[in-house]
Amino acid sequence: MIYVVIVFLWTAILLYILLGGADYGAGIIELFTSRANRQRTRKTMYEAIGPVWEANHMWLIIVIVILFVGFPKIYTTVSIYLHIPLVMMLLGIIARGTAFVFRNYDAVKDDMQKVYTPIFVISSAVTPFFLGIIAASAVSGQIDLQAHDFLSAYIFSWLSWFSVTVGLFTVAICAYLATVFIIGEADDEADRLLFTRKARRMVFVVMGAGALVFVAASIEGIPLLSWIFNNILGILAIISASISLVIMFFMLNKNRPGLLRILAGFQVTMILFAATYSHFPDIVMLKGGPNLSLLTHQGQYKAIESLAYALLIGSVFILPALVYLIYSFQKKKSSISGHD
């Protein structure tokens, strides 16, 4: 049963990066869009994220519940030593969701719209930035359980060049996913070409941000290269992601939005797999060791068993509902377009 729980944990993290990442990316792209193109980019982005934006945080909640119930020691350690970036991430989620609702559904359109927009776009970048910092800090060996002062325990546990570069890489991934997903929502050829150019630029931004991660890891002595390239599956994952990236780069002008989304999702999946496979089952690397493991530091068997059954039964209801939600939005958009 423990492996059932672990599969759900990894899958929920992946889906949050893919769906939530594209959602955050919508705001990030708006942040870096010229004033002349901002309005039509914003309109198209809303159509792209509309089907899933309210459901995205379900995956984050699933991750939190799994860690809280199934791996209490891991949950406690992360919550204590990384509480500052966790709070910043949660504040970003709250600010972004609130600004999104008021900016789009406020009954009164007034000067407050000028307040909602900056909150939305800035929190769209801040939230995935701290998500990346949390992920990097968990595996970089910065958390010191023996720390006796505030800075060592709660600041230097996450503040490092490696964590910052992974945060920037996460922001770049979110923007990249958004640019790819938005291509299929463009209403005319001019918009499609505009978003295609954005996607091409984001490919190079992601590559540059990824290179910075490896540089920072090398400087701080984090064995990222060996994690990824010292096993055949990690090498295959990176090669597969690279090949699919090249294919997608040349397919951007072919007007195949479904294929582009599949390729982008595949690339992110391979990156996450390569980054996590080699040090499995360790999930939190502690300064001086020993590391926290999903197998060694799991909860009581009855808790794991109950959690596994709950996840299996819940997926029977959640996944079909999510598919129907996306289908309903796409059907609504098609009927509106046909009417126009």
Q: What is the pLDDT of residues 222-236, one digit of tens each?
A: 988 888 888 899 899
Start-to-end Cα distance in the chain: 52
Q: For position 326, what pLDDT does the model report?
A: 66
pLDDT at residue 112 tops 80: no
Domain boundary assignment for the chain: 2-216+287-339
Question: How confident is residue 54, by pLDDT bands cut at 50, 70 and 90?
Answer: low
pLDDT at 258: 82
Contact (CB, 8 A) for 204 and 174: no
Residue-level pLDDT at 191: 76
CA dist., res. 247 & res. 263, Å (int): 8
* Weakest mean pLDDT among 48-57, 180-189, 275-284, 285-294: 48-57
pLDDT band at 322 (very low <50, low <70, confident <90, very high): confident
pLDDT above 70 coverage of the chain, percent = 91
Query: How far is Cα 227 from Cα 207, in angstroms, rounded to an integer?
Result: 19
Confidence (pLDDT) at 329: 61
pLDDT of residue 339: 46
| Residue 39: Cβ-neighbour burial (10 angstroms; 0-12, 13-18, 19+) | exposed
Residue 197 has pLDDT above 90, yes or no: no
Tell me: pLDDT of 273 over 80: yes
Mean pLDDT score, 306-316: 92
pLDDT grade for 49, boundaries at 50, 70 and 90: low
Choose the weakest-confidence range: 23-37, 86-100, 253-267: 23-37
Instruction: Output the pLDDT for position 267.
Output: 93
Instruction: Say what the pLDDT of residue 50 is.
Output: 59
